[in-house]
Amino acid sequence: MLGKLALAGIKNRRRDYLVLLLGLTMSAAIFYMFANLATNRAFIKANAVVSQASLIFGFGAVLLILITIVYIMYANSFLLSMRQHDYGLFMMLGATRKRVGELVFLETLILGSLATAVGIVLGLAMSQFLVGFLLDMLGLHLAHLSAVYLPAIVATAVLYVGLFILASLFNLVRLTRTTVLKLLHTDEQANQPKVHPFRQMVAAILGVCFLAIGYWSLAAIKDLQMTAIPIALVTITIGTYLLFRATILVIIQGLRRTRWAKKHLNGFLLGQLNFRVYNYTRMLTIVSLLFAMALGAITVGSGYHRQLPMMANSLGTYTMAIHDKNAQEQHLIDQLNVKHQATYTQKRQGKVVYYNAAELKQQPFELNRGTTEAKYATHPKYYTESLKQFKQKGSQSLDFLSLAIRSEQGFYAPQILSAQQFAKQSGKTMTVTTVRVKNLNQDKRVLKRLNKLELARFAQPEAMTVGNYQSYELMSGFFGGLEFMGYFLGIAFLAMLASCLMFKILSGAPGDQRRYQMLYKVGVRQRLMRVGIAKEIGILFLIPGIMGVIDVLFGLQMFKPLMQSPMSPYLGIGSIFAIFIGLYAIYYAITLALYWRIVLPKAPTN
C-alpha cells in the first residue's frame, strides 16, 4: 500500500524526476568517458609523452571524483526536498519510521542504479561519437582510443553505486531523525539568518586568508608539486564559503535598511535573497568552483589550441618547404592563405648544395627574428638581408640549411653561385618552394594533406618534413592530450554546473510559485515580477560567476610551468572568457525562461 502511494507521489513529480535522472545520467556518462580516457593504459602510453601529462590526467580524475561526490550530494538533497513532504504525510497517517525508512532507502538506490546503468551506456555511445567529434574539431589525433574499456565501466559502476548507497543511508538517517511536523512544513519555513558583526568579520578575514593560501599554493606548484592541488582545493573551498557567508548577508541586510529597499519589489527581492543566499551558500561555493574549473580548463585547452601554432611559428620562418612541387601540390598551395612564397633551384653535389644568386636576389630568403630574439617570439618579425649579407649570415641559418633534403651524413653546405656559374654547375637538380601562411590554425587541414604528399616523396632521414607545420605536428603530439583534457573537462564541469544550479533553482520553484501567486493577488504588475525574478536569479548566477573568474585568474598560475615562453596561460584569455561568459549568460537566459514559466501566475482568460 505504502509502496503504491510512494509511486503515485513520484508520478506527480515526473518532470522533476526526469530532470534529476537526466542530470545523474549525464554525470555518470561524463565520468565514464573520463575514466575511459584516464585509465586506458594503451591510450595513455601512446599519448602522454610528457611526464606532466599523466600527472594532469591524474589530477583531472581526482577533481572529477570530488565534484561527482558533491554533485550527488546535491542531487540527493534535491530528491529529499521533493519527497520529504510525502514521507511526513505517510508517517502522520501511521506508517512506521522503519517502513518509511526502507522506502526512502530503496527509492534512492533504485534511482541511483538506474542512472548509473543508463549513464554508462550513454557514456559508451558518447565516447564513440562525441570524443571523436571533439578530437576531430580540434584537429588532434589520439591513438589507441576505444570506447569500450571494462575497467572504466567497473570504476564508474563502483563509484556511483557506492555513492548512492551512502546517499540512501544518509537519507534514511536524516528522515528518521526529523520530526513529522518539520517534514510536513519544510516548504514554508524560511529561516531568517541573523547577522553577528564580530563573527561575520572574523569569518570574512579567515575566508580571505584561506583564499590567499589557496592561490599561493597554485602559483607555487613547481615547488609543492602534487600537494599544491589538494591544498588549493580545500583552502579555496573553505575560503569561498566563509567569504560568501560573511559578506553577502551583510550586504543584503545593509541594503534592506535603505530607502531603495522600500521601492517597488526591491524589498521582496532582498528578502528572497536574504534567506536564499544563506541556504544557498554551499551551492554557490560549489558552483563558483565548478565555474572556475570549467573556465580554467577551457582556457588552458584553448591556450594550447591557439598557442601551439604560435609556438611553432617562433621556431622557423616558413610553414613548409615543398620539393619539386607537382600539380596536385600546387593545387593545394593555391588553397592556402599564403603570406610569403618563394621557389629556388638547388643543385646537390657531394656535400654541397648550390643556389642561384639571381634567384635569391629576385626573391630574397625570408628570415625570422623570433627564432633568435626572445622578444619577437610572440609576434614574429620577418625580414630579408641583402645578398652580400645573406651569404655571410642568413645562409647559415637552420631554416636555410634545412631546405636541402638531408642525407644520412647530415646537412649539405649551401653555396651561392652567380647565374652563369650556377648554369654550368652539375649535380642533382630540384626546386624547393617555401610557403609561409598567414595563420597556421586556419590552414591546418590543407597543410596536413600537403605535408603527407611531401613526406611520401621526399622524407628526411627522420621521416619528417621541414618547416613550422612539422614542428606544430610534433608539439600537438606532446600537448594534444592536455589540450583535449582542457576542453573535455571544461565541458564536463560546465554541464555539471548547469545541472547543479538547475536542481537548486527548481527545488525552490514550488515555494516561489506560492510567493508570486501572492504578489499577483496583491496587485503586482506582471512586468515587475518578471524583472524581479530576472534580478534574483541573475544575482544567484552573478555571485559564483565573479568568484569563479577571480579563481581562474589566480589559478592559471598553475599552468605557467607547463606553458613556457612564448606560450603563457594568460595569453588571449579575453576572448575565451567572453565566449564562456556568453555561454553562461545563455544558460542564465534558459533558466530564467524556465523559471518564469513555472513561477509566474497566469492572467485569467475567458
Give me the residues that bind other proteins (CB under 8 A), please: 188-192, 259, 262-268, 271-272, 274-275, 515, 518-528, 603-606
Considering the complex, state which of residue 420 and residue 526 has its C-beta at the smaller distance from other proteins.
526
Cβ atoms 172, 106 nearer than 8 A: no
3-state SS assignment for residue 435 = strand
Q: How far apart are CA 289 and CA 199, in angstroms?
A: 24
Considering the complex, state which of residue 264 and residue 406 has its C-beta at the smaller distance from other proteins.
264
Q: How far apart are CA 464 and CA 458, in angstroms?
A: 9
3-state SS assignment for residue 250 = helix
Q: How far apart are CA 583 and CA 317, in angstroms?
A: 38
Cβ atoms 57, 44 nearer than 8 A: yes
* Whole-Å CA distances, 302 to 51, 308, 498, 597: 21, 10, 21, 36
Considering the complex, state which of residue 259 and residue 424 has its C-beta at the smaller distance from other proteins.
259
Shortest distance, position 530 Cβ to other proteins, whole Å? 12
Considering the complex, state which of residue 512 and residue 551 has its C-beta at the smaller distance from other proteins.
512
Cα angle 334-336-338, degrees, rounded to a multiple of 5: 95
Shortest distance, position 511 Cβ to other proteins, whole Å? 9
Considering the complex, state which of residue 93 and residue 522 has its C-beta at the smaller distance from other proteins.
522
Shortest distance, position 284 Cβ to other proteins, whole Å? 18
Considering the complex, state which of residue 258 and residue 429 has its C-beta at the smaller distance from other proteins.
258
Considering the complex, state which of residue 143 and residue 518 has its C-beta at the smaller distance from other proteins.
518
Shortest distance, position 88 Cβ to other proteins, whole Å? 17
Shortest distance, position 55 Cβ to other proteins, whole Å? 48
Shortest distance, position 248 Cβ to other proteins, whole Å? 15
Shortest distance, position 255 Cβ to other proteins, whole Å? 13
The DSSP secondary-structure symbol of 556 reads G
Query: Bridge-partner residues for 37, per DSSP?
Result: none
Q: Centre a 10 Å sphere on the Cβ of residue 409 and count the other Cβ atoms it contains.
A: 8
User: What is the residue-wise DSSP string for 294-354?
Assistant: HHHHHHHHHHHHHHHHHHHHTT-S-SEEEES--HHHHHHHHHS-EEEEEEEEEEEETTEEE
Q: How far apart are CA 322 and CA 434, in angstroms?
A: 6
3-state SS assignment for residue 560 = coil
How many whole angstroms from its chain centre is CA 455? 35
Cβ atoms 419, 356 nearer than 8 A: yes
Q: How far apart are CA 254 and CA 249, in angstroms?
A: 8
Considering the complex, state which of residue 188 and residue 223 has its C-beta at the smaller distance from other proteins.
188
Considering the complex, state which of residue 272 and residue 591 has its C-beta at the smaller distance from other proteins.
272
Q: How far apart are CA 169 and CA 586, in angstroms?
A: 37
In this structure, what C-alpha cell is assigned to residue 469?
607545420
Residue 601 preceded by cis peptide, ω within 30: no
Considering the complex, state which of residue 188 and residue 334 has its C-beta at the smaller distance from other proteins.
188
Considering the complex, state which of residue 407 and residue 517 has its C-beta at the smaller distance from other proteins.
517
Shortest distance, position 262 Cβ to other proteins, whole Å? 4
Shortest distance, position 188 Cβ to other proteins, whole Å? 6
Shortest distance, position 271 Cβ to other proteins, whole Å? 4
Q: Where are the beta strands (DSSP E) in 388-501?
A: 413-417, 428-437
Considering the complex, state which of residue 197 and residue 523 has its C-beta at the smaller distance from other proteins.
523
Q: How far apart are CA 344 and CA 69, in angstroms?
A: 63
Lookup result for grid cell 532507502: 105
Spatial strand order in the sheet of 352-356: 320-323, 428-437, 338-349, 352-356, 413-417
In this structure, what C-alpha cell is assigned to residue 358?
639571381
Considering the complex, state which of residue 256 and residue 369 has its C-beta at the smaller distance from other proteins.
256
Q: How far apart are CA 57 and CA 59, in angstroms?
A: 5
Shortest distance, position 19 Cβ to other proteins, whole Å? 25
Nearest in space to 313 (alpha carbons), one of 365, 394, 397, 371: 371
